[in-house]
Amino acid sequence: MRLFAALDPPPDVLDTLRGAVDRGRRHEPGLRWSRPRDWHLTLVFLGEVGEDRLPALTDALGDEARAHQPLSLSVRGWGTFPPGGGRSSVLWAGLGGDTEALGALADGLRAAAAGAGLPVEHRPYVPHVTVARSRPARDLADIVRALGPLRSRGWRAHEVHLVESRVGKEDRYRTVRTWALGWEADPAPSPERSTS
């Protein structure tokens, strides 16, 4: 299973983002725009995980999620990877609010996954929602200007989701497990649900 841990912005925040992205689509239809139903805030990418590693991984991630309190977040501003102008391949919406606590959550989940024996990347965490990709990379400064300012209402993130990425499927992302942030009891596994 190809897995990652993520937060899901609520529907009205995604609607705000969708409205802004629709302006961008009209300005630059040549980008490969992500589907709104696929938008999420990745906390840690885990890659391929064998079934034999899932119990230890889910225990470790669940313990870590419960060690963090719910977060106040908003979608705010635009950015690119790589940053700093020039040629970029990813256009994203940024996050505002409890970003320091969000970074601590991402770092904690990364450490928990490593402790469960998974190789994880160790690079600075940049909270974002990917909205478009460019192949080949190009200067995205004009599209960022055309998108204009972005600021959603704030929301409280209460749950971390373990998500399976199923490339080539219509419902590309499927939630495997969900943990409540700051919850002390051990929750039962969440029923499988599609994030579409």
DSSP 142-170: HHHHHH---BPPPEEE-EEEEEEE-TTSS
Question: Tell me, what's the pLDDT at 4?
Answer: 97
- Pairing, β 159-165 against β 2-7: antiparallel
Q: Where are the domains of the chain?
A: 2-194
Q: What pTM, to 2 d.p., does this model score? A: 0.88
Per-10-residue mean pLDDT for the chain, 196 residues long?
A: 96 94 83 93 96 96 98 96 86 96 97 95 92 93 90 95 91 94 58 45
- How is domain 2-194 classified at the CATH fold level? Cyclic Phosphodiesterase; Chain: A, (3.90.1140)
Question: Tell me, what's the pLDDT at 195?
Answer: 44
User: Are the C-beta atoms of 93 and 75 separated by less than 8 Å?
Assistant: yes
> Distances in Å between the alpha carbon of 59 and those of 64, 91, 120, 186, 187?
9, 34, 17, 10, 11
Instruction: Name the residues annotated as catalytic.
Output: 40, 128
